[in-house]
Amino acid sequence: MILKDGSTITRTTSVKNELGMHARPASRIAQMAGSARSCIWIHANSTRVDATSPLDILTLCAIKGTQIAVEIENQKDMDVLNQIIDFFETGFGESQK
């Protein structure tokens, strides 16, 4: 779902990985967000963090099932937004046993 409030675009998803958010996916998300032209934010558990900071992402304590919103401030960053959402949707590319 995409919502436009005039200045930001947000898509929502949830953590699908059995292990929840941990260091490897947090680092990968930060790397993806680092390629954006403007700020990218991740929201979870009533907290908003800078998506370019793996440590900030880890502070969300996002376990499996946690609802996540990814917010961009520049429409030119839609590819980055979609890439991050796809990463969540595929369980961070980790096999589920």
pLDDT of residue 4: 52
pLDDT of residue 95: 67
**Domain with residues 2-93, CATH architecture:** 2-Layer Sandwich (3.30)
pLDDT band at 94 (very low <50, low <70, confident <90, very high): confident
Domain ranges of the chain: 2-93
- The widest CA-to-CA distance across the chain, in whole angstroms, is 42
pLDDT band at 1 (very low <50, low <70, confident <90, very high): very low
Neighbours of 57 (CB within 10 A): 24
What global pTM score does this model have? 0.90
pLDDT tens, residue by residue, 38-86:
999 999 999 999 999 999 999 999 999 999 999 999 999 999 999 999 9
- By the 8 A CB rule, do 72 and 9 touch? yes
